[in-house]
Structure 1
Amino acid sequence: MPRVLSTLTVAACLVLGFAVAPARAESYVPADDGGRIVDVRKVDDQTLDLTIDTPLVDTSKPRIRLYTPAGWSRDADRTWPIVYAYGGGPGDYTEWAGAEGFPETAKRSGALVALVDGGKRQGFTDWYNGGKGGNPRWETFHTTEVPQLLERNFRASQKRAAMGISSGGQGAITYAARHPGLFAYVSCFSGVLHLTGAGVPLALMFTDYATPEPTVPDPLAKWGNPVFDAKNWADHDPYVRAEGLRGTGLFLSAGDGTQGPLDDDLATDVARDGLLNGVQLYLAGAAGEAVVGATTRDLAERLARLAIPATTDLYGPGFHQWEYWIREYKKAWPLMMNAIGAHP
C-alpha cells in the first residue's frame, strides 16, 4: 500500500488524537453475543471514539469513530441513517478521518457515519483457521455486532450504506453479497472483487507474506488454502456471489495500475524516498491497482450480464492510492445519501 495511506492515518491521529476527552459515564446496551461498548471519548462536538470489548476479536479491542449529524442526540425520539466506512489493510479506524474533507462531509450530512476498525490485514472475514473457524470473526463483528451496538445505543437506523478502500472496499461488497438487504448502497474504491480470479489468490497471499503483521501469523488462515479450500474462497468471492448484490445500490471504481495524473513518477519517488523505498512505493502502487482494476472490471461485466445495475468508474491510469479514492468518494457520496434518505 502506498505511503500516502499511512501518512494520512498518522496525520489524523496527530490532528485529532490529542483533543480527545472522556465522555460522561453512561451505560450501554450490549450486543446479543455479549460484545459491549467499554469506553466512549468525545473528540469534538460531533465526533465520538468508541472502544468495543468483543468475543469476536481476541487480538485487540476494536474501535469506532462516530461522526454525528447536527441535532443528533442519544435521547432523541428518532433514528438516523448510517454509513459504515472501512479502511485499507495496513490502516486503523481513523484512516477515513485523514481523507481530505471527509470529516466535514460526514458531519454536515444527515446521517451517522461510523469509521470501523477492521484489524490490520485481517481480511474483513471470519477466519477459516483450517476449517475450525473461530477468531478473529470480523465479518460477524461488522455485519451483526456493530450494527446492534450502534442501533441500540446511538440511534442508528436500519437504513444503512457501506463504503471502503482497498480491502475495506472488498469487505463492503462481500458483506453486501453474503448478506442481501443489509445495506441499501455500497461503494468500493479499488477493492479486490474477484477473489478467485486467475492469479488473484497468489497475489493476495504474496502481499501478506511480503508485509507480515503480528496479527496475521498465517495468511492462509483467512480463507484457507486456495486449492484445497477452494469452496471457502468462492463463498467469499463477490464475483461468484454476485446474485446476492441484486437490489443493493452499487458504486465500483478502480484504476488500471498505469501511472495516472495524480501519481508521482518513479524519479520523484526515488529522489524523495531513496532508491529502494522509492522503487517499492512505485511498484506497489502500480501492481496493487492492476490487480484490483482487473477484478473490478470482472465484477462489473458479470453484473451487466446478470442485469444488476451498478455505477462504475473504471478510470484507467491510476495507482493504488488515496488521491484517487478521495476523488471517487465525492462522486459516490450523494448516491449513498440518496439511497438511505439523508441529505448529503
Structure 2
Amino acid sequence: MDWIAAARAGNPRAVARLITQVENDAASAPGIVRALYADTGRAHVVGITGPPGSGKSSLVNELAKRFRQHDRRVGIVAVDPSSPFTGGALLGDRVRMRDLAGDTGIFVRSMASRGSLGGLARSTAAAVKVLDAAGYDLILIETVGAGQAEVDIATAAHTVVVLEAPGMGDDVQSIKAGILEIADILVVNKADRPGASRAAKSLEMMLHLGLETDTASDRAHHGADAAPSPADDGRLPAAGWATPVLQTVATTGEGMAALADAIERHAAHLTATGQRAIRDWERSRDEVEHLLRDLFMDQLRAAVPATERTRLIADVAERRLDPYSAAERLFASASDTFKRER
C-alpha cells in the first residue's frame, strides 16, 4: 500500500502507521513530512494544558464529541509523561478516551514524552502534520501537564486552552507558574466543586491586572527573528482578543458548548486579524530551531567519541574544567569534523 497516498485520503490505518514511523524511527520522519507538507496548514490546532488533575483528558474527550456534533473531523494527540528510569509510559489517555473509539471521524493517538521538556514529545509536530494532511479539521494536543515548564504549546498551537481546577492549592499559583501568559482561553474545570467561582474570579482579576497584554503575537519570543506583522513594518500588532474565563464540568459536558464556541471564535479572530499567519510563522521558526538543535546533537555524538565526552564531563564534575570550556571543546570538535566531511 502507498501509505502516503492513503493518509492523504484520510485512511486511519495509514495515518496510524505514519505516526508510528515518525515516533519510533527518526530517520523516517523527514521523508514523511516532506511528502505531506504541501497538504498541511488547513487544520486548526488547539493546545490543552494545565496541571495534573485538572481534568485535561476528560475535557478533550467531551470537546471532541462536541465538535463531532458539527461534523468536524477531530485528531487528538495526547502526550503522556515517560518514566525517567525506564522510559516507559502508561498512555492512560487512551483508556480515558475509549468511548471515542467507535467514531471514524475521531483519531486518537497517545505518545510518550520520552524525556522531552516543555510538555510535548519530540515527534508531536510531525504527528500533527500527518493528521493535518489527512484532512482532520481540528487537532487537539493534550500536553503532559507538568505545570510551570509547559510552554512549548504556546507556539505549537493556534489556540491555547489553559485549565485550572478549584481546590488544587494557592489561588495565585498560576501567577508563579507564569502559564497565564500563554492562554487564549482560560477554563476552570470541575466547576461543580467548592471554590470554583472564587477561582474564576481570581483568574479574571489577574487578567484585569494586565496579564492579557502578553498576547500570542508577542508572547513567545523577543529575539532577532521577530515575526513580521501583516503590515510588514516589523511591529507586532495588538491582539484585540479578550481572554475569556469559562467554567466547565467535563465529566458531565457542562460548559462544553461555550468552550467549543470560544475556540471557534478565536479561530475566526486569528484569521480576520492576520494573527494566524503570525502564529504559523512563529511555529515554523521554533520547529526549525528545534530540528537544528537535534541535528547538531546527532552530529556531536557522531563526531566526538563517547569516551571523550565522558572524560570532559568527568573533568567538569571534578572541577578540573569549567562547563563552558567543556562545551566549547565539544562544539569545536563537532564543527571540525563537519567541515572535513563537507
* TM bucket, shorter chain: 0.3 to 0.5
* TM-score, normalising length: structure 1: 0.38
Q: Which structure has the highest strand share of the two? A: 1
* TM-score, normalising length: structure 2: 0.39
